[in-house]
Structure formats: C-alpha cells, structure tokens
Amino acid sequence: MSTTPPPQPPTPPVGQQPMSDSDARLWAMLGQLSGIILGFIGPLIVMLVFGPRNEFVKKESTEALNFQITVLIGYVVSFVLMLVVIGIFVFLVVWILSIVFCVIAAIKNNQGVAYRYPINIRFVK
C-alpha cells in the first residue's frame, strides 16, 4: 500500500507587491533626498527597485533622476569654467540650488504631491 503525501497549497504568484500610499510617499521622498548624497545613483536605484510597484514612485524617482543628470551637467560645465574664475561661482550656485530643490521635492513627495523641478532636462521618460 503506497501512501501519497497530502496535497500542498498552491504557491502564491511571484511578482511585485503593490505599495501602500504611505510607503509610496516615503520611497518617493527618499528618492529625492538620495540625490543629494549619491547623485543620480540614488534615484536610479529607487526607480528600478520600487518604480514597478507604484506609479507615483516611478514618476517622482524618474523626475529626480533627470534632475540629478541635469545637476551633473551643471557640475561638469562649472569644472570647465574653473579655468576662468567664474566656474567657482557656477559650482556654488548649482550646489545650493540642487540641495534646495531636492529638499522642496522631498517635502512635496512626502505630502503625496508630485513635484516638477523648474530647471530640468528630461532625458529619461
């Protein structure tokens, strides 16, 4: 007499679990703030890891990624202009504006409001 094992319950489907609104606001905010320390790498990680789980996080991290790429271009231009004295001032303006705009965007995202940077080249769609 052979014994068969009892049937196993079906395994849940593999895929991305949707996020709650509070988690989406948190990750959108962290995507904005990560640009201050990590440059474009922080928003890129948030976009790739958490973007597929929530449309708000995807849009806001894409916006943050585009802004950090724009800031990187500003830094490159300022370094080139450092051969002339004006590059130091351009660097300071880019640095201060990037921090201010990232903090404003993080506050807006934490409130659940989409933020569009006033100075942004949208490379990533």
Place of tokens 């942004």: 120
pLDDT one digit per residue (tens) for the chain, 125 residues: 567 777 766 554 556 678 899 999 999 999 999 999 999 999 999 999 999 999 999 999 999 999 999 999 999 999 999 998 899 999 999 999 999 999 999 999 999 999 999 999 999 98
Residue 3: per-residue pLDDT: 72
Radius of gyration over every alpha carbon of the chain, rounded to an integer in angstroms: 21
Q: Whole-model pTM?
A: 0.83
